[in-house]
Amino acid sequence: MSLHALPDLPAVDRDTFRNAMAQLGAAVNVITTDGPAGVAGFTASAVCSVTDSPPTLLVCLNRSASAWPAFRDNRALCVNTLSADQHALSTLFGGKTAMADRFAAAQWQTLASGAPLLEAALISFDCEITQRVSVGTHDILFCTVLAVAQGEARQGLAWFDRGYHTFSRQDAR
Ligand SMILES: NC(=O)c1ccc[n+]([C@@H]2O[C@H](COP(=O)([O-])OP(=O)(O)OC[C@H]3O[C@@H](n4cnc5c(N)ncnc54)[C@H](O)[C@@H]3O)[C@@H](O)[C@H]2O)c1
Ligand SMILES: Cc1cc2c(cc1C)N(C[C@H](O)[C@H](O)[C@H](O)COP(=O)(O)O)c1[nH]c(=O)[nH]c(=O)c1N2
């Protein structure tokens, strides 16, 4: 098969793409920022490891999100991976709630970057945003990890088939 045939293939439509992506389970994270543009946060499943040297992850953020201007203008970002019992926080940060109400629902601290770090998260990655790339409706934020904070929870939260699921560490089974 020749690569020249690819441009003639029909594109996958939005619903087909979303229905397929719904089967790609992912951890649930509350992404936060603080800095000159103020404090903000949103729920994200589109988070992944990029390279370990330098330690880098990426976060995909829809530019229509209310949090987007803060992530455009600030350099600090924290990925707070939720534990199994934190799905209410995911819903709060998942939209249509005032920023102050989102942050009032949990306890926070800061590490090197100054972005809010969620106490009791499964794991947190304190980061500096080092690169931004726009693709379609989203910005991909490439982040250097400055510090990691390990939580004590034994069970994580996953988003799969449009609903929440839990998974356990090996030593919690
Ligand atoms: N990457 C994202 O931006 C993303 C991911 C998950 C959920 N969401 C938001 O949560 C809502 C509910 O999601 P759902 O999983 O219950 O059902 P859904 O049918 O809206 O989405 C199914 C899957 O498609 C992907 N997706 C959804 N909206 C997207 C977008 N705008 N850009 C890129 N990928 C997208 C995600 O993997 C999602 O889990 C979505 O409509 C969206 O607003 C966004
Ligand atoms: C489980 C789950 C997972 C995701 C989301 C939601 C939920 C519930 N949302 C949507 C995002 O959290 C939401 O659009 C923002 O909070 C913006 O909403 P407001 O504009 O503030 O109302 C989301 N948005 C985004 O830009 N990237 C992502 O990876 C995800 N993932």
ipTM for this model: 0.98
Residue 31 C-alpha to ligand 2 middle, in angstroms? 10
H/E run at residue 141? strand 138-150
Which atom of ligand 1 lies nearest, measured to the CA of 46?
A: 1
Residue 94 C-alpha to ligand 2 middle, in angstroms? 5
CA atoms within 13 A on the CB side of 38: 9
Which atom of ligand 1 lies nearest, measured to the CA of 162?
A: 16
What pLDDT, in 10s, does the model give residues 76-108?
Answer: 999 999 999 999 999 999 989 999 999 999 999
Does residue 147's CB lie within 6 angstroms of at least one atom of ligand 2? no
Higher pLDDT, 7 or 166: 166
What pLDDT, in 10s, does the model give residues 15-66?
Answer: 999 999 999 999 999 999 999 999 999 999 999 999 999 999 999 999 999 9
Which atom of ligand 2 lies nearest, measured to the CA of 91?
A: 8
What pLDDT score was predicted for residue 10?
78
What pLDDT, in 10s, does the model give residues 104-114?
Answer: 999 999 999 99
Q: Which residues pair with 58 in a beta bridge?
A: 48, 142
Mean of the per-residue pLDDT values of the chain: 95
What pLDDT score was predicted for residue 173?
59
Query: Any idea which ligand is nearest the CA of 91?
Result: 2
Q: What is the pTM of this model?
A: 0.96
Residue 95 C-alpha to ligand 2 middle, in angstroms? 6
What pLDDT score was predicted for residue 157?
98
List the beta strands (DSSP E) in 28-152: 29-33, 40-44, 47-52, 55-62, 76-81, 108-109, 117-118, 123-135, 138-150
H/E run at residue 18? helix 14-21
